[in-house]
Structure formats: structure tokens, C-alpha cells
Chains A and B, each alone.
Chain A
Amino acid sequence: MPDSVDLNGVKRLLQNGAQLVEVLPPAEFAEEHLPGAVNIPLKSLDVSSAAQLDRRRPVIVYCYDAL
């Protein structure tokens, strides 16, 4: 179960080298995303798609909003 983080938590993790993963569909990612984020849509999130992530660094996942 991932830990919930707020904006300050995200900033702290990014300072420590965290990776950002947007789980929205590709079109929404293409339109606008956080700097440096990679797109792994929720529907295609599996071991294979997650292999692109660095296991040694923290991972922050996000979507559109809290709803």
C-alpha cells in the first residue's frame, strides 16, 4: 500500500531523487505532466511496464486529482 504524500512530501522526495509516474492515459499525459514524469497508464501497469523504473529510487505515482 503506497503512502499518501502532499505537495511538500513530493518536493522532499524529488530532492532525494524520486521518480514521478503519471498513471493517466497517454493523451492526458501528453497534454500536461509534471517535469520529468514518465507515463505508465494504470491499465498497462504491470511488472513489464514498471521495469523501466529504477528500483533503487523512490517512486511517486499521481493521477489528475484526489477524486
Chain B
Amino acid sequence: MADYVNGKTDWFAHGLPREGETENVAYAGELVDEHPPTCHLESSVAEVADLLEQSAYGYCLIVNQQRVVLGRLRRSVIAGADPTASVESAMESGPSTVRPNTPARELAERLRAQELRTAVVTTPGGRLIGVFWRERLEAPDDQAGSSS
């Protein structure tokens, strides 16, 4: 016999499937964009600027080889930064993240209250699952605009 010590909270926090009465309640992890702009610590600010040029995102997420989120570089910071500088020197470390089993409607309301449009969704260990866009709950087929 084996004891899954971390229990179902851990399972759901990794965005894994579930059964039960809440099966039809949308969770944030099910509605994310799985391919937001990402780069590595060694990337340059100029590379990120290129990456964001045609992107709806207002930031790039810095991840390691395991896709663990290390930081975020905002478009507004890029404008005033040395383009040859490394992302590491310009990024903000450890951006706020949420777990994929956060109910999507609840998360959208939280974002609205804080006047934010997106939330970075990760596993408890920080591995990037994707980015949740508040607007997607209201208009799932719409392309999102700029982010905050």
C-alpha cells in the first residue's frame, strides 16, 4: 500500500484530470494559453523586444530548461533598458503565479478587482502551465489585446 501524502490538493494543483460534481467548473489551468512568450536567462533584452514585437503580451516570461518560471520582463522595462543587456539583469524575479485548480471565474474576478488582465499559471513547483487571460472567460474565441 502506498500513501499519496500530498493528496488530491497536489494532484489538482498540477492541473491533472478530476471527476466529481465540480468536474464542469472551469479551472484556470484548463483555459490557459500554453505558449506565451518565453526566454531564458541568457537571452538579451533585444531578443525579447523582437519576441514581443508581434505579440499580444506585454511581457515575456523567463524560464529554465524545465520551464520553471524564474522571472518576467515587461515591455515597459525593455524600452528603457540596454538592448545588449542580459534578461537576467533586467527582469523582475519571481512574479506572482496561481495554481491551475483555481476556479476560472474566481480568478477572473480577482484580476478584474486588481485591474489586471492575465495571470501566470504554474504547478506548485513553479513549472509554467500557461497564462490565463481574464477576457477568455467572457469571450473564449476572442484574441486578447495587450496584457498587464
Contact = CB atoms under 8 A, between A and B. Distances in A.
A46 interface: no
Nearest to A10: B4
Per DSSP, chain B at the interface is mixed
Interface string B1-37: 1111111111110101111111100000000000000
Contact of A32 (B4, B6, B18): B18
A29 B20 contact: yes
B5 A33 contact: no
B4 A65 contact: no
Contact of B2 (A2, A31, A65): A2
B97 to A, nearest CB: 18
Given A32-B21, A32-B22, A64 B1 contact: no
Interface string A15-40: 00010001000000111111111000
Contact of B8 (A2, A5, A59, A64): A64
Given A7-B11, A30-B20, A64-B7, 10 more contacts: A3-B1, A3-B3, A29-B20, A34-B16, A35-B18, A60-B3, A61-B2, A61-B3, A64-B9, A66-B5
Interface of B: 1-12, 14, 16-23
Interface of A: 2-7, 9-10, 13, 18, 22, 29-37, 58-66
